Amino acid sequence: MAHLGRWDHDKYGDIYVSTPNSVTICDPADIRAFMGNSAVSKADYYRILEFTEIENTVSFRENEIASVRHRQVGPYFKPTHLAKMEDTIMDLGIMTIKKKWDTLISSSPNGAAEVNYCNDFVISAFGIISTLVYGKKVKELSKSDAATAKWIDMTMMYLSVRAMFLLLPKFIVFLLLWPWEHYYHTLSNYIDEAIDTRKALIKKLEDENRLNDKPVDMLQALMEAEDPESKIRMTREQIHGECMLMMHAGSDTTSHTIAWTVHLLMLYPEHYKRAVAEVRSVFAPDHIITYKECRAHLPFIEACIYESLRLVPVTGGLLPRVVPKGGTMIKGHYLPEGTIAFVNIAVANHHKTFWDNPHEYDPTRFLHNKELQHYILTFSYGKRTCPGRSLAWWEMLTVLSNILKDYDFHMPKDLTHLGPHVLNKYGFPKTMDFKQYIAVKPVNSERDCRIIITRP
């Protein structure tokens, strides 16, 4: 959520009062103990993620109700179900990127092309999730790749700005948001249409006794999702809300993690070389590496992603939770029931009691100790952990491993303010500046996320 005060830890320590009724907690051990308590609930701040004023998976404050939704949608996020959507994930993910990059290289006189990898990852991740959610490609919403990237950015911006001003009177919020309003409404209307079209299709298949031909995607999953315990299904409004949520929760988070990984590999050439050597030693050029193959053969590339999830957690704001009945003790301080505890993921992922050289990008730490993977808090922890993490991993691994295999990357010569020799205050390569709108993303992606690609 908010990233204000993210680094106050340096000044105030592992637990500090943020406002009269709230504290921020930063020690990973405290966070795991606190979030692991199933009575801890989400704070009212999450209302801002209710797109149509209807609660959804992320905004439920009560864990009991959230559990029903997790049981309804959970099975559809399992790798076994995702495997049925593999064609869409691969076509709109790595294949879309490869097609674009190969065309650019083959039409270039010197076999080199400059691309903006951040935009390309955003478009492909959005392409995947929107196709899974709408049941059809969404690219037609804008005329060019740059326009699609802008359109996605604008809808995210709408939500973040709306979030900041939600407590103001409605007409003021409307005035503040009108520049972004139509981006958001295009998306919302598109979802309404998609639900109607899908309902009509299912009716037709039913009439023709061909229900086996029904599509396998997120929209279908949400329409069919049923809690095995209560047998409750979602209403149309709830399905709409979940579709909006999936688009936002599952798009920028995944694409920006891949972008941060490429950026970090450019800043740490020794890790870049090792990742490239690993993938090229196992797979032939232009073989499309599947998710299963990535998991079986590419431990270093996997470690590179874990390390960027740790070092630059895309969701690294403060997650607001409510202290349950009876209160709780943290670091010898008693927090009474109802206190808001902001969970500081970014600081926990850098905490020196747990991570050696926390400010260094060092994927090898996960090769030496696999257990460490479970201590990264970027997908959250406890009952309300991210249900979309397997889908995210599917996209991140297949995109990253295939591009590292099939293209050589070179930083553009004019990108002199970033590079292995431009150091931050900790003595490690300085990363590009970032801002946080839902995900942590570059402030100046048009300038900083350019890269020259060639074929090896």
Q: Which residues bind ligand HEM (CB under 6 A)?
A: 57-58, 66, 129, 245-246, 249-250, 253-254, 257, 314-315, 319, 378-380, 384, 386-388, 391-392
- Between 70 and 271, CB nearer to ligand HEM: 70
Closest CA to 386 of 313, 302, 307, 305: 313
Using alpha carbons, list the distances in angstroms from residue 305 to 256, 259, 300, 370, 447: 11, 10, 9, 13, 23
In the complex, residue closest to ligand HEM by CB: 388
Q: What is the C-alpha separation between 247 and 154, in angstroms, rounded?
A: 13
Q: Which is nearer to ligand HEM, 164 or 200 (CB)?
A: 164
Cα 54–chain centre separation? 22
Residue whose CB is less far from ligand HEM, 166 or 205: 166
How far apart CA 196 and CA 366 sit, in angstroms, is: 46
Write down the least CB distance from residue 2 to ligand HEM, Å. Answer: 11
* C-alpha span between 206 and 82 (Å, rounded): 24
Give me the least distance between CB of 388 and ligand HEM, in Å please.
Answer: 2
Could you tell me if 418 and 449 are in contact, meaning their C-beta atoms sit under 8 angstroms apart? Answer: no
Cβ neighbours of 296 (radius 10 Å): 10
- Which CB sits closer to ligand HEM, 320 or 453? 320
Minimum gap (Å) between residue 387 Cβ and ligand HEM: 5
Find the distance separating the first CA and the last CA of the chain, reported in whole Å.
41
CB of 257 to ligand HEM, least distance (A): 4
Backbone angles phi, psi at 397, to 5 degrees: -70, -45
Exposure on the CB side of residue 256, measured as CA atoms within 13 A: 28
Which residues participate in the annotated binding site for heme? 386
The one-letter code for the residue type at 178 is W
356 token code pair: 């050696």
- The residue (of 58 and 298) whose beta carbon lies closer to ligand HEM is 58
- Nearer of residues 57 and 401 to ligand HEM, judged by Cβ: 57
Output Rg (C-alpha) for the chain, integer angstroms.
Answer: 22
Asked whether the beta carbons of 408 and 269 are under 8 A apart, the reply is no
The alpha carbon dihedral of 240, 43, 7, 164 has a sign of positive
Q: Which is nearer to ligand HEM, 240 or 384 (CB)?
A: 384
**Minimum gap (Å) between residue 167 Cβ and ligand HEM:** 18
CA angle centred on 67, ends 314 and 72, rounded to 5°: 90
Tokens in use for 351? 């905490």
Structure tokens at 67: 């559990």
Cβ–Cβ < 8 Å for 288, 90? yes
> Do 304 and 366 meet the contact criterion of CB atoms below 8 Å apart?
no
Question: Least CB distance from residue 298 to ligand HEM, whole Å?
Answer: 17
Strands 340-344 and 22-25: parallel
Annotated binding site: 386
4 Cβ neighbours under 8 A, 6+ residues apart: 318
Q: How far is the CB of 84 from ligand HEM (least distance, A)?
A: 15
Closer of 136 and 455 to ligand HEM (Cβ): 136
The smaller minimum CB distance to ligand HEM, of residues 238 and 253, is found at 253
Shortest spacing between CB 423 and ligand HEM, in angstroms: 27
- Closest contact distance (angstroms) between CB of 46 and ligand HEM is 7
